[in-house]
Amino acid sequence: MKVVILDNPAAVAHYGADLFQQQLARKPASVLGLATGSTPVSLYRELIARHRAGLLGFGEVRSFNLDEYLDLPATHPQSYRQFMQREFFDHIDIAPGNTRVPAGDAADPIAACEDYERAIVDAGGIDIQLLGIGRNGHIGFNEPTSCLASRTRVKTLTRETIDDNARFFRAGEPQPHMAITMGIGTIMESRLVVLLATGESKAAAVKAMVEGPVSAWCPASILQMHPATVVLVDEDAASHLSQPDFFKHIERENQALLARLGRG
């Protein structure tokens, strides 16, 4: 696990966008794993700006989103399909048929989960997976106590997650308490994982993920076992880490080596 501590959320988005741009330069037909939530929005805006500047294109890209609320139609303004359209897909040249979001309104959601797993395999697997982290350490909607080898499935959301997401729903509007999510085992098969965390509210979860034991109580901690995970955090999200200066030292040394090799 590579931990990079940056000055602010804008720097986190910029670094994350660099990783996606490098991936698309290496492989224009990359398979992207995408996330929703407030943290990835700045990264999406950075990628949109670079696309408009002619620095990268998405014409050959396929994408799979992490999750979707159960029983929420794709047309609902709070569905993650609509989120992705508003915040990203409508502003780039990705083919609509190449974007996949779990079918939260499927008549048989269990069968839909199995179909989603097969689609990822048929696409050749995910090249780069974007993640956020919940205050309780969840990734996707893999809540605490989730199986660390799980596949795409229906999950019940914790009260904490429901409360955190309540701000997106109008007063009195029904709010889903279940979701379809990629499993932790599915996420772990991604070739590169990029996790973003900003703000002091995520600091305890970041510490548990980076320094704690690998445990189902902090699902993100399994990323300690992933061979290529980059954790991008701002100063506030890093504020509970025991040795933040050491991580900064590592990043400086890594950047110096890349510069010496002409890869900076």
Catalytic member of 65, 105, 127, 136: 136
Which residue stretches of the chain are H helix? 9-26, 38-52, 80-87, 109-122, 159-165, 184-188, 203-211, 244-260
Residue from 46, 51, 127, 138 carrying the catalytic annotation: 138
Nearest to 102, CA basis, from 183, 220, 161, 195: 183
Which residues, including other chains, have CB under 8 Å from residue 135's CB and lie 6 or more apart? 160, 164, 201, 202, 204, 205
Question: How many CA atoms within 13 Å lie on the side-chain side of 232?
Answer: 24
Whether residue 61 contacts residue 24, with contact meaning beta carbons closer than 8 Å, is answered with yes
Q: Is residue 115 among the annotated active site residues?
A: no
Q: For residues 99 and 88, is the Cβ–Cβ distance under 8 A? A: no
Those residues with Cβ within 8 angstroms of residue 219's Cβ, 6 or more apart along the chain or in another chain: 137, 138, 139, 142, 143, 144, 146, 148, 184
Question: Does the active-site annotation cover 67?
Answer: yes
Among 46, 68, 143, 234, the active-site one is 143
> Which residue among the candidates 46, 67, 68, 234 is catalytic per the annotation?
67
Please say if 127 is a catalytic residue. no
Residues designated catalytic: 67, 136, 138, 143
